[in-house]
Amino acid sequence: MRDAGSVSDDDASRIPLPASRSTPPDISQMSAEERATRLYNRVMTLHTQGKADSAAFFLPMALQAYAMLPALDADARYHIGVLDLTGGSATAALAQADTIRRAVPAHLFGFMLRARALDLQRDAAGARRAYSEFLKNEAAERARRRPEYDEHAQNLDAFHEQAAQVTGGNAKRGS
């Protein structure tokens, strides 16, 4: 006789394994872009959860995955810049911001990376200029409906709030 809380062998095969025991995804079957994005998301999730040691473990892998991409668009460069900031490399993040802005001068990701990197370097005046430029260009840029803006809408909204706070609301949304 089984006790009421037990599980038969047939039932046990239908119970999913805990996340820690499940099979990891086969990254060899993913495109280079998928691998890079998965690693970026993993680092960001771990960082957000306060697991700095785990985020630091996956950070070099994520950066390497982006280095292996045949071409980098603004979204990929933004991801690299955010990873650089997560690792404490303001200089590398500024390089990504500058590259984005050379390709698309009003792209919001360039202003976002620039402001965050300058904040990290404790350059309050430079960061304030980047926040102001973000606010100045935001409406026109968001009206372009770039796919990367849709994917990062929450980040853009949060950054807008921070930019408005830092600039004292002096810089208005787009002109």
- Encode pLDDT of 49-108 as tens digits: 999 999 999 999 999 999 999 999 999 999 999 999 999 999 999 999 999 999 999 999
Residues spanned by the domain of 151: 29-166
Other Cβ atoms less than 10 A from the Cβ of 17: the count is 8
User: Does the residue 12 lie in any domain?
Assistant: no
User: Does the residue 172 lie in any domain?
Assistant: no
pLDDT digits (tens, 9 = 90+) for 141-173: 999 999 999 999 999 999 999 999 999 975 554
Mean pLDDT of 109-114: 98
Q: What whole-number distance in Å separates Cα of residue 111 and Cα of residue 166? A: 14
Q: How many domains does the chain contain in total? A: 1
Task: For residue 123, give the CATH number of its domain.
Answer: 1.25.40.10
CB of 40 closer than 8 Å to CB of 83: yes
Which of the four pLDDT bands, split at 50, 70 and 90, describes residue 6?
very low
